[in-house]
Structure 1
Amino acid sequence: MSASPALRFLFAVNPASGSTEKTDWEKTIRAFFEGLPHTAELLTLTGKNDEQALREKVETLRPHRLVAVGGDGTVKLVAEQALAAGLPLAILPAGSANGMARELDLPLAPQQALEVAVHGEEKAVDVLYLNGQDLCLHLSDIGLNAQLVRYAQHQNWRGMLGYARAACWSLLHKRLLQVHIEADGQQVERAALMVVLANARLYGTGAAINPDGDVADGHFEVVVLRRLRGWELLKMFWRFRPFDPAVVETFSTTAVQLEIRRPVDFQVDGEYRGKTTHVEASIRPAALRVLVSAPKPAAA
């Protein structure tokens, strides 16, 4: 059997990701690659001109794989460059919200995550583009959750405790939005607390807003939270139970337009985008290659 070819890996590391207990990623990555035929290059993200710095590093190094080390925001940043360069993406979950990693059932432990990045298998997943150019890998929404994201970012609250505090504030300030939804020729009017554009099933908190979602089925779901009801909310954490359509209504589609009567909060993959009255989304099937765990061999 021939030896595996030597690969060049470019790790984009966000040192600000995660909680106070942070992994020394450079040391961990260097130690993992000792004795391997592959090479690892690290780029530390600073929060200033990261997109340009990563693009230039890709052009100079010409890596075979890009690796995002951080939370959902970092994954999105690196995924954009992976798509532009036609490269596979690996993920080392290191953020306070790791929605895409949860969706792909990636290990959270650094050593196991590195095993997948180096020795895993490629999986082609769908991506969404919102308003023509804004990449969405898993979940975007308008209304209640986007309001939560806005407040959490404004207060600089991180981790599950931060999200919980922001959720309490958001629930106290909830309001219905009036939205016109046009999806695959179907048009409906709804009063809702929030509308989710769901390429995946899970938020970074683990809440399953779209239990039947699949990141690789060529469709996405428009999930309309019409009202709050305790039992239905509990289902989001007691995965994966179908919702009462009178409370949570779901449309499967390949494209959608949302028209909102008044400006509402809008977030994309955990990043606040401001207020909006119009959102368009369309899917690009199997556009991104992601490293996932190799399936276990069947028992003899």
Structure 2
Amino acid sequence: MNILFVINPVSGGKDKADWEHAIQAFCQQFDHTAHLLLLTGHADDSLLRDQVRAIRPDRVVAVGGDGTVKLVAEEVLGTSTPMGILPAGSANGLAFELNIPPVVEEALSVIVNGDIEAIDTICIDDSDNCLHLSDIGMNAQLVNYYQQNNWRGKLGYARGVFRVLLRHRLLKVSLQMDDKVIHRAAIMVVLANARGYGTGAVINPDGKLDDGVFEVVIVRRLSVWALLKMFWQYSPFDPSVVDIIPTKSVHITTRRKAYFQVDGEYRGRVTEIRATIRPGQVKMMVPKKPA
């Protein structure tokens, strides 16, 4: 098999030399050809596109966190080329959702011997693709602080939680789904293609990546204790303060600019979002299901 490994050498703040050695050893053992592409942070999308055209791989593998996964997914979007994940970042939300093993040899086995599952994406404003979770409001504000301050780990997250909860304001949002319009005051609104964040926090307990819909999750209020408990004990949000609405499309407007993030990448402040489900856009290697 001809496999292109797309490696983010700085994801998760860890040296990827051991991952590279494990990849080469595994592929040599089973007579696969491994091509290693090290990202630089400069024109990575063009670099990846050129490599895919030159190599024509049987698999393209993201070695990094959610940002690297998104880069690779957008390259294979709508094609027949499957992608895999070696979860090597500080945030591995999609790998967690797909039950990709965190051990490199086990994850490599999934890439070669696993099942192929076609997962949906959420198209946002006709220009961006969400594989996992996007949101406006409190969590997006936290993502912004996280990136600005280069915080790491759960202690960094806790620090950000207190800062955001002290400064956040309720959003006045309007959501149009088909012929229905909903008005809410909320601390955040999530576009959920999956069940939970990379931290393990559950936001959308019944979410599925391949069911042809996504869920709009409206969080009306949340205490510091409830938020920290959710991220440390992986408890779901309190259903009494959350609305979860399955849909194929939504148009969201806010009265004032709100923080917005897509798959863990801060996108700025917005007053309007349009989102539509696109079924089966990415062929993903996942652990083989029991017979």
**TM tier, shorter chain?**
over 0.9
**What TM-score does the superposition give when structure 1 sets the normalisation length?**
0.92
| 1:3 paired residue number | none
Structure 2 residue 260 is the aligned partner of structure 1 residue 269: no
Please identify runs of 4+ aligned residues in structure 1 that moved more than 3 A: 19-23, 229-243
Find the aligned partners of 2:198 and 2:224 in 1 and give their Cα distance: 20
| 2:175 paired residue number | 181
What is the CA deviation profile of residues 41-80 of structure 1, one whole-angstrom value per residue up to 9, with x for unaligned ones? 0100111110000000001111111100010011000000
1:124-143 → structure 2 map (5 Å cutoff): 124-143=118-137
Most deviating of 221-230 and 111-120: 221-230
What is the CA deviation profile of residues 1-55 of structure 1, one whole-angstrom value per residue up to 9, with x for unaligned ones? xxxxxx2100000011114475622111001112323211010011111000000
| 2:289 paired residue number | 295
1:1-80 → structure 2 map (5 Å cutoff): 7-20=1-14, 24-80=18-74
Find the aligned partners of 1:230 and 1:160 in 2 and give their Cα distance: 14
2:284 aligns to what SS in structure 1? strand
Question: Kindly tell me: are residues 9 and 118 of structure 1, through their superposed partners in 2, closer, same or farther at Cα, counting changes over 3 Å?
Answer: same
Question: Which of residues 235, 244, 251 is equivalent to 2:239?
Answer: 244
Q: Deviation of residue 295 (structure 1)?
A: 1.6
What is the CA deviation profile of residues 171-213 of structure 1, one whole-angstrom value per residue up to 9, with x for unaligned ones? 2212101110011221111000000000001101110000111
1:24 aligns to what SS in structure 2? helix
| 2:218 paired residue number | 224
1:98-113 → structure 2 map (5 Å cutoff): 98-113=92-107
The two structures, once aligned, show a CA RMSD in angstroms of: 1.8
Q: Deviation of residue 262 (structure 1)?
A: 0.3
Residue type of the partner of 1:213? G
Residue type of the partner of 1:159? G
Question: 2:143·2:264 contact (CA, 8 Å) conserved in 1?
Answer: yes
**What TM-score does the superposition give when structure 2 sets the normalisation length?**
0.94
Most deviating of 12-21 and 262-271: 12-21
Residue type of the partner of 2:90? S
Between structures 1 and 2, the one with greater helix share: 2
1:10 aligns to what SS in structure 2? strand
Structure 2 residue 196 is the aligned partner of structure 1 residue 197: no
Structure 2 residue 283 is the aligned partner of structure 1 residue 279: no
Find the aligned partners of 1:168 and 1:232 in 2 and give their Cα distance: 12
1:11 aligns to what SS in structure 2? strand
Question: 2:5·2:63 contact (CA, 8 Å) conserved in 1?
Answer: yes
Question: Kindly tell me: are residues 154 and 232 of structure 1, through their superposed partners in 2, closer, same or farther at Cα, counting changes over 3 Å?
Answer: closer
Residue type of the partner of 1:115? S
Q: Deviation of residue 296 (structure 1)?
A: 2.8
Question: 1:97·1:159 contact (CA, 8 Å) conserved in 2?
Answer: no
What is the CA deviation profile of residues 135-191 of structure 1, one whole-angstrom value per residue up to 9, with x for unaligned ones? 100100000000000001001113333323222211221210111001122111100
Question: Kindly tell me: are residues 100 and 169 of structure 1, through their superposed partners in 2, closer, same or farther at Cα, counting changes over 3 Å?
Answer: same
Name stretches of at least 5 consecutive residues in structure 2 with no aligned partner. none
1:34 aligns to what SS in structure 2? helix
Question: 2:60·2:84 contact (CA, 8 Å) conserved in 1?
Answer: yes
